[in-house]
Amino acid sequence: DKGNHRHFMAKEIHEQPEVVGRTLSHYVDLANGRVALPEPLPFDFATLSRLSITACGTAYYAGLVARYWFESLARLPVEIDVASEARYREAPLERDGLTLVISQSGETADTLASLRYAKAQGQHTLCVVNVPTSTIARESSAVLPTLAGPEIGVASTKAFSCQLTVLLCLAIHAGRARGVLSAERERALIDALITVPGLMAEALTREAEIEVLAREVSKARDVLYLGRGTSYPMALEGALKLKEISYIHAEGYAAGELKHGPIALIDESVPVIVIAPHDAVFEKTVSNMQEVAARGGRIVLIGDAKGAAEHGLDTLATVTMPALDATVAPIVYAVPIQQLAYHTAVFMGKDVDQPRNLAKSVTVE
Ligand code: M6R
């Protein structure tokens, strides 16, 4: 049932404040301002020397965001790969190390195979899944559910924001277990996390502006997405969302990589979507925006009022997100990224819930 929405994707985008809130209440002990995982884990983060993450598509991008969180909040080294590579690489995995797999469906063939590979190497396995009865959930030594509810649209939206929510809670848990996150810092992070559903609701109110912008984007043949830090995987996710439902060619790049090649593509016909909350690397991203502007590129900033006031460049549009704690930015910024892809595809008359050549769950390699 799509409710009063035209597509499942629109319904699922709009459900995010609610399902992220539900997921949070499953992982956070509000009274004590700390993360409380729904069940004890069969391994100790304190003794891990590294974490291996594997997943496909959007779930992989959630893992890429989480790498920044595990490294900064828990000082835990992370290696991450797409499952279709991880399963064949013959990577040496330490006995009693930890492999984390992320999957909405819990049935993705390559993700399941990499989980089995990790088990055969003697690793503990932990999964973040949306379907608790799935094969991946059954075969993992521990399961952290995302409480997104059934996701029907082929483009993953609410499962992604719930994956990010669970992964941030897990990184906080790991940070405490490894003695690198003080109770005070944890409380501050929880304070930031509990504002996320409200911030997502606020982000959703930018829809009319995004619809106008989508008309511009729909005319483009190529679109570039740029971001730094956790906004880099968000750029990858933005490009994937746009290409899978609108069929416009889109690429996500680490902003700093621009001058190592993709800058050659920039001219007036290529919209450059810059994802940049006012965080520790914002200024660095502004210098990349200057490089784009100097070549006549048309910049769309998905950022906040503070950043918009600071950069001083001409932009095609600015999508203004609420001010927030930079750690939680990816969860909130998922909203405009999804809405831009959605409205571009709708404007172009594409079948957003069932894009050509794609299946909701990829159970073949
Ligand atoms: O069910 P999974 O999360 O394992 O699926 C992984 C990918 O197939 C999936 O995220 C895909 O990339 C989506 N269509 C992206 O929107």
Summarize pLDDT for 105-149 with one digit per residue, the tens. 999 999 999 999 999 999 999 999 999 999 999 999 999 999 999
Is the distance from the beta carbon of residue 248 to the nearest atom of ligand 1 less than 6 Å? no
Q: Within its chain, how far is the Cα of 83 from the centroid?
A: 17
Are 302 and 321 spatial neighbours (Cβ–Cβ below 8 Å)? yes
pLDDT band at 209 (very low <50, low <70, confident <90, very high): very high
ipTM over 0.95: yes
Are 113 and 83 spatial neighbours (Cβ–Cβ below 8 Å)? yes
Distance from the CA of 274 to the center of ligand 1, in angstroms?
A: 23
Query: For atom 8 of ligand 1, which residue has the closest CA?
Result: 57
Q: How far apart are CA 299 and CA 89, in angstroms?
A: 39
| Residue-level pLDDT at 95 | 94
Q: How far apart are CA 70 and CA 66, in angstroms?
A: 6
- Alpha-helical (H) ranges within 195-328 are 196-204, 207-217, 231-246, 282-294, 305-311
pLDDT band at 361 (very low <50, low <70, confident <90, very high): confident
Distance from the CA of 58 to the center of ligand 1, in angstroms?
A: 5
| Residue-level pLDDT at 112 | 98
| Residue-level pLDDT at 187 | 97
**pLDDT exceeds 90 at position 183:** yes
Q: In this structure, how many other beta carbons lie within 10 angstroms of the beta carbon of residue 94?
A: 13
Q: How far apart are CA 176 and CA 304, in angstroms?
A: 30
Q: Given the CA of residue 57, which atom of ligand 1 is nearest to it?
A: 12
Is the distance from the beta carbon of residue 111 to the nearest atom of ligand 1 less than 6 Å? yes
Is the distance from the beta carbon of residue 56 to the nearest atom of ligand 1 less than 6 Å? yes
Burial (0-12, 13-18, 19+ Cβ within 10 Å), 116: middle
Is the distance from the beta carbon of residue 154 to the nearest atom of ligand 1 less than 6 Å? yes
Cβ neighbors of 72 (< 8 A, separation 6 or more) are none
Average pLDDT of the chain? 96
Query: For atom 4 of ligand 1, which residue has the closest CA?
Result: 103
Is the distance from the beta carbon of residue 242 to the nearest atom of ligand 1 less than 6 Å? no
**pLDDT exceeds 90 at position 365:** no
Amino acid at site 35: V
Strand 28-29, strand 34-35: pairing:
antiparallel
Is the distance from the beta carbon of residue 354 to the nearest atom of ligand 1 less than 6 Å? no
Q: What percent of the chain has pLDDT over 70?
A: 100
Structure tokens at 160: 């992604």
Kind and range of the H or E run holding 169: helix 158-177
* pTM, entire model: 0.97
Are 59 and 51 spatial neighbours (Cβ–Cβ below 8 Å)? no
Which residue shows structure tokens 């609701």? 201
pLDDT band at 259 (very low <50, low <70, confident <90, very high): very high
Beta bridge partners of 79: 52
Q: Where are the beta strands (DSSP E) in 258-350?
A: 271-276, 298-304, 317-321
Q: In this structure, how many other beta carbons lie within 10 angstroms of the beta carbon of residue 264?
A: 9
Q: What are the angstrom distances between the C-alpha of 209 and each of 47, 238, 297, 317?
A: 48, 17, 20, 9
Q: Within its chain, how far is the Cα of 273 from the centroid?
A: 16
Query: For atom 11 of ligand 1, which residue has the closest CA?
Result: 57
User: What backbone phi and psi angles, to 5 degrees, belong to 299?
Assistant: -95, 135
Q: Given the CA of residue 55, which atom of ligand 1 is nearest to it?
A: 4
Query: For atom 14 of ligand 1, which residue has the closest CA?
Result: 155
| Residue-level pLDDT at 58 | 98
Pocket test for ligand 1, best of 61, 129, 156, 338 (most atoms within 8 A of CB): 156
Structure tokens at 260: 């190592």
Distance from the CA of 178 to the center of ligand 1, in angstroms?
A: 31
pLDDT digits (tens, 9 = 90+) for 220-237: 999 999 999 999 999 999
Amino acid at site 296: G
Is the distance from the beta carbon of residue 362 to the nearest atom of ligand 1 less than 6 Å? yes
pLDDT band at 41 (very low <50, low <70, confident <90, very high): very high
pLDDT band at 55 (very low <50, low <70, confident <90, very high): very high
| Residue-level pLDDT at 323 | 97
Distance from the CA of 179 to the center of ligand 1, in angstroms?
A: 34
pLDDT band at 363 (very low <50, low <70, confident <90, very high): confident
| Residue 360 annotated among the catalytic residues of the structure | yes
Amino acid at site 284: K
Is the distance from the beta carbon of residue 146 to the nearest atom of ligand 1 less than 6 Å? no
